[in-house]
Structures are given as structure tokens and as C-alpha cells.
Chain A
Amino acid sequence: DAGVTQSPTHLIKTRGQHVTLRCSPISGHKSVSWYQQVLGQGPQFIFQYYEKEERGRGNFPDRFSARQFPNYSSELNVNALLLGDSALYLCASSAGQGNSPLHFGNGTRLTVT
């Protein structure tokens, strides 16, 4: 079975632009979470979606938004990019609403110049 897939793998954007990151969960998994990992730090929670509804939001500005589609895939959108948004964005899926355990994709490396 395919694992969690994310696209694109790398992305370079300019300050002020908008970006959309995509994630396909493991087949049968209904929960998708997004995490931001800045170099040298642990992942920070951004969003969780379960059954197409937002079930949790981390301490990120409104420039960050996400949604989950009927096939359980998900998009993370970031508007008005800042240099500080440069990070590895990780998507994770799990079978249930909880976090036990999470299956991560290999992430999208976003560089904002």
C-alpha cells in the first residue's frame, strides 16, 4: 500500500505570494494533520481534519488555511508568504480521529525568498 504522499517535494516562492501544498493520506485513513518543521526544531501542529471537518488548529495566523476533500486528501494554503514561513511542511494521516499513531509523508520543503 502507498504511504502518505505529498506534492510538490520542493517549492521556492517570493515574499507575498501564495502557496498550495497537497497531501494524499493512506488509503482508509480519514484523518489528516499538517505540521510545520523549521530547521533544527521539532514539528509544530498547524491543523487536523477528520471526516472533512476541522478538528483542531494550532497557533498559526489566519494566513494559513486548509481543507479536506471527500476522498480525504487535503490541501494546505498559505497566503502572503513571509521569509519565516520557510520550513518543511509535513502531512500525516491516521485511521481514527486521534493521534495513535501518525503516518507522515516526506514533506514539502518550502523556501521563501
Chain B
Amino acid sequence: QVQLQQSGPGLVKPSQTLSLTCAISGDSVSSNSAAWNWIRQSPSRGLEWLGRTYYRSKWYNDYAVSVKSRITIKADTSKNQFSLQLNSVTPEDTAVYYCARDQNWDFLHWGQGTLVTVSS
């Protein structure tokens, strides 16, 4: 049974870096058939796919155009987890952030969601 457990602060100051982690159980972050995604949701922007990391003999990343200049998604194989870093945040980055696994085009497993508020 795959489970994704998110952790990270719920409050970030403007211009600082948002950092979240998604711990994986029941699968490996190095799986050759899965991709590990970050998605966010806000009333103003709806659901927004932010990016992913995946391993196919080497590591790959894809990012949404809207955040490409500010985002980094990394896998940590020693802890079987992956992380999101979003730089230079503004109040517009306030949202519920989710991690999710995509395997064979199926986004079946999601984390519990983390509300991140950007405010001073």
C-alpha cells in the first residue's frame, strides 16, 4: 500500500523559500515506473501541477512554465522521499500543496495536503 506523508511549515514569509517534503512508503522514489509530483490548489488558481521528478536510469525533472524559474524538486534516495523548494514566494503562492505519485499515467496516490500561507 503506497502512502505519501507530507511535512513542512505552514507559514512562509514573502520573498523567502517554501520547502516541503513528501515521505514515501510502499514504493521507492527510484522506481523506474513512477513519477513524483507536486501539485497545489488555491481558490484563485484552482489545481495547478507544479512539477515532477523521476528516475529512468538517471534523474529527470519537468516543471510548469508558471514556476520554472523558482522551483526545484529533488529526490532523496537515502530517506526515500522527495522535496519541493519554491523560491521568492509571494502571497499568490498561498495554497494547499499536495505531493502525488504518477504511475502509468495514473495519479492514484496523493499526500494529505499542506496549507502553506505566505504572509509576514
Partners in one complex: no
Q: Which residues of B contact A (CB under 8 A)?
A: none
Q: Which residues of A contact B (CB under 8 A)?
A: none
